[in-house]
Amino acid sequence: MTETATHTSNVVVVTHPLVRHKLTKLRDETTSTTGFRRLARELSLLLCYEATRDLRLEPVEINTPIEQMTGERLSGKKLCFVSILRAGNGILDGMLDLVPSARVGHIGLFRDPETLRPVEYYMKLPDDIGNRDCIVVDPMLATGYSASAAIDRLKNAGAENIIFVCLLAAPEGIACLSKAHPDVKIITCSVDRELDDHGYIRPGLGDAGDRLFGTK
């Protein structure tokens, strides 16, 4: 059986052939805005499958059209997806396709072009965030500053069990987030080579927000 994910410390790289194929198309500069959105949604669904791998189950009695049986259903804490605005919304929909009952939180951050540090402008979370497993979504883990800041805010609000999911990660971003939050698992499609002087991932896919929403 071919492995579909590789695990290194707290980082999981999803290597399923469909993920690798779709990621290549996502990176291609000739991919249209419509195509980019579709591919991001499809990849997020596949990433969500990996991110929810360890959800707890409990037995439940049901009747099939043929007979009674013992099935399984999710138990324990419920899920909350937390999107880092604005680009996080580009992979949020695919997550909700798989887990439509999940609650959704938003943390608005933009990156200061001089310092590359995040500036918060919005946050809205479920009141019971401390009783939920949280999956934080953002297409890119570049410097790691925004992801670390968002998870700081989540933990301050009471969240304890947190996973970070992104399409691409840079080694610098992984190092930053892992240092700030060593308890947070990172799930991604690829760990790329490096950041350039402007904080963009290389080879990367450009600015995910601009490509998702057709802006520059």
Q: Is 207 assigned a catalytic role? A: yes
What is the CATH architecture of 5-54+78-213? 3-Layer(aba) Sandwich (3.40)
> Is residue 134 pLDDT above 80, yes or no?
yes
Q: Is 212 annotated as a binding residue?
A: no
Q: Is 143 annotated as a binding residue?
A: yes
Q: What is the 3-state secondary structure (H, E, C) of the chain?
A: CCCCEEEECCEEEECCHHHHHHHHHHHCCCCCHHHHHHHHHHHHHHHHHHHCCCCCEEEEEEECCCCEEEEEEECCCEEEEEEEECCCHHHHHHHHHHCCCCEEEEEEEEECCCCCCEEEEEEECCCCHHHEEEEEECCEECCCHHHHHHHHHHHHCCCCCEEEEEEEECHHHHHHHHHHCCCCEEEEEEECCEECCCCCEECCCCCHHHHHHCCC
Q: Is 115 assigned a catalytic role? A: yes
Where are the chain's structural domains?
5-54+78-213
pLDDT tens string 168-179: 999 999 999 999
Query: What pLDDT score was predicted for residue 1?
Result: 44
From the candidates 111, 188, 202, 211, give the one annotated as an active-site residue: 111
Query: What pLDDT score was predicted for residue 198?
Result: 83
Query: What pLDDT score was predicted for residue 7?
Result: 58
> Is residue 137 pLDDT above 70, yes or no?
yes
From the candidates 54, 196, 210, 215, give the one annotated as an active-site residue: 210
- Average pLDDT for the chain: 90
Q: Is 87 annotated as a binding residue?
A: no
